[in-house]
Amino acid sequence: MKVRRKPDLGRRDLLKVAGVAAALGLVPLTAGVAMAADSQKMKIGVIGSGRVGSALGGVWARAGHEVMFSSRHLENNKRLAAEVGANARAGTPQEAAAFGQVLLLAVPYSAFPELIKSLGNSLKGKIVINASNPFPQRDGEIANDARAKGAGLFDAQMLPGAHVVRAFNAVGSTRMASAHEDPGKIGMPIAGDDKNAIEVASRLVREAGFEPVVVGGLDMGKYLMPGTPLAGEHTPDEVRSIAATLKT
């Protein structure tokens, strides 16, 4: 006698069932289910649309997120958004900061004082992924300050009220545009103090084709830059092994 196997319900089907049941008054539509349905697509403001910002923003837009590219050159952003196509738009940094639920910062450290002043309180409470690195020869004194304090802790000081995560700091921009074609092979070290921010950043890291490896809090952010043992391309296991040897 054959036993008929019940069909497996996918996540989308379960959400539909929950929604129908709630509509019929059979079960309450919980906040968790509602958030799960809405969490598939995010609004991402990219501030700094050079090689890193354009590569990551393009990948995320093609993954279904709404992305706004921004920089000091609006016309360039418009051309970039047109090239990316669906889900991409252009705006000023102020508009991108207001637009994004999540923000990616990919600008030189020397630009931060003026940029942060212009953004006012728009970063407060938002998840900010900082892909920027401090280079003294390019950025001057602010880069020296960031390196002395540690880039992660300096980021938090520089972006008060934001939930900061350091990520995408030590892998080349070319790989950022192509890693999704062969995902999970390269580990992406990330650091942050906020659990929800880490979860969101981890999801975006995976969608970019990397495997996120949380190496610690923002005090470990000093290692997330070129010239440190975590720089370059490593497998996820290699990232974990290297991180285990580093001190906060």
Q: What are the tens digits of pLDDT across the range 175-229? A: 999 999 999 999 999 999 999 999 999 999 999 999 999 999 999 999 999 999 9
Burial of 209 (0-12, 13-18, 19+ CB in 10 A): buried
H/E segment holding residue 186: none
Q: What is the pLDDT of residue 45?
A: 98
Mean pLDDT computed over 95-101: 97
Structure tokens, 246: 């580093």
Residue 18 has pLDDT above 90, yes or no: no
Q: Which residue has tokens 């992924």?
A: 129
The rounded mean pLDDT for the chain is 86
CB atoms closer than 10 angstroms to residue 79: 14
Query: For the whole model, what pTM was predicted?
Result: 0.83
Residue 124 has pLDDT above 60, yes or no: yes
Q: What is the pLDDT of residue 150?
A: 96
On the CB side of 209, CA atoms within 13 Å amount to 21
Confidence bin at 172 (pLDDT 50/70/90): confident
Q: In whole angstroms, what is the distance from residue 8 CA to residue 6 CA?
A: 6
- 25-64 core/surface letters (b: 16 or more CB in 10 A; e: else): eeeeeeeebeeeeeeeebbbbbbbbeebbbbbbbbbbbbe
Q: Which of 94-103, 106-115, 176-185 has the lowest mean pLDDT?
A: 176-185
Residue 17 has pLDDT above 50, yes or no: no
Q: In whole angstroms, what is the distance from residue 188 CA to residue 204 CA?
A: 11
- The dihedral sign for the CA sequence 45, 50, 51, 52: negative
Segment 149-159, tens digit of pLDDT? 999 999 999 99
Q: Are 195 and 169 in contact, with CB atoms under 8 Å apart?
A: no
Concatenate the DSSP letters of all residues of 98-149 into one string: HH-SEEEE-S-GGGHHHHHHHHTTTTTTSEEEE-----HHHHTHHHHHHHHH
Q: In whole angstroms, what is the distance from residue 10 CA to residue 122 CA?
A: 38
Q: What is the pLDDT of residue 39?
A: 54
- The residue type of 83 is E
Q: Are 190 and 167 in contact, with CB atoms under 8 Å apart?
A: yes
Nearest to 49 by CA among 38, 57, 60: 57
Residue 5 has pLDDT above 50, yes or no: no
Q: Are 90 and 68 in contact, with CB atoms under 8 Å apart?
A: yes
Residue 108 has pLDDT above 90, yes or no: yes
Confidence bin at 173 (pLDDT 50/70/90): confident
H/E segment holding residue 223: none
Confidence bin at 40 (pLDDT 50/70/90): confident
H/E segment holding residue 232: none
Residue 10 has pLDDT above 80, yes or no: no
Q: What percent of the chain has pLDDT over 70?
A: 84
Domains and CATH numbers, the chain: 43-244 (3.40.50.720)
Residue 8 has pLDDT above 80, yes or no: no
Q: What percent of the chain has pLDDT over 90?
A: 80
> Is 9 or 182 the better-scoring residue by pLDDT?
182
Q: What is the pLDDT of residue 226?
A: 92
